[in-house]
Amino acid sequence: MSRQKKSSYHHGNLRVALMDAGFRSLETGQLEDLSLRALAKEVGVTPTAAYNHFADKMALMVEMKTEGFRRFDAFLAEHLEAFKEASAEDKVRCLGRAYMAFAVEHPGIFNLIFFWTPEQKYLTDALAHAAACGERMLQDIVADMLQVDGIELNDYQKSVACFSAWSMVHGITLLLKTGVVDAVTYCGNWPQEFSSQNPESQAHILEHLLEIQIEGLKRVLPGVKP
């Protein structure tokens, strides 16, 4: 039985199988718990076979981080597909919702791509390009949204707009993900509508935050200079 399983992997198939096993491990465990030997055992191959594809755990994690960004971008693009006929403003809102949804649905991948960074000597061009893909998607849509209102942006303004929108959505995601919003609500600082125990009210509040961001970009950006 074991031999049959091992023989089913050819060339790049084992590489993909090991990475998929790694992603499954991240959904239930921690980054530091990843083990190339354990992943090899899970997919039914020897550690030697695994090391033929990844020199060590670091090489595996760099590849997984690269693939994680690709999956993240594909998730955002898939959600945008349903809004392809919508206004650019609605697409900006869609991206914000999808960003937060990914963190909830794929916490392991989200943690890997945003909370773990290899030493600079291990960085690759593939990782850099994968990490930047989502930014380009957001920047283009934000620029389209503002163009509708007759606001033409230079490269600096586009970057500031993207940085601002990205920072807000990422910050909201982390505050929700880490339970900080629930803590503030529990202490009575904010109304119960902000609690994760009231998902419909919380979703309504998130729409308000997206609206504030969008209107802020429209009003402030034209006067932003390098």
Model pLDDT, residue 28: 87
**Which residues neighbour 5 within 8 Å (Cβ) at sequence distance 6 or greater?**
43, 44, 45
pLDDT digits (tens, 9 = 90+) for 175-188: 999 999 999 999 99
Q: What residue ranges do the domains of the chain occupy?
A: 1-54, 58-223
Model pLDDT, residue 118: 93
Model pLDDT, residue 85: 94
Which three-class secondary structure state does DSSP give residue 13? helix
Of the pLDDT bands very low, low, confident and very high (cuts 50, 70, 90), residue 1 is: very low
CA distance 29 to 211: 36
CA distance 173 to 98: 11
Of the pLDDT bands very low, low, confident and very high (cuts 50, 70, 90), residue 12 is: low
Our separate counts of H helices and E strands in the chain read 11, 0
Kindly state which CATH superfamily the domain 58-223 is placed in. Answer: Tetracycline Repressor, domain 2 (1.10.357.10)
Query: Based on C-alpha coordinates, what's the Rg of the chain?
Result: 21
pLDDT digits (tens, 9 = 90+) for 37-84: 999 999 999 999 999 999 999 999 999 999 999 999 999 999 999 999
pLDDT digits (tens, 9 = 90+) for 69-78: 999 999 999 9
Q: HSE of 41 in the Cβ direction (CA atoms, 13 Å)?
A: 6
Class of domain 1-54: mainly alpha
Model pLDDT, residue 33: 87
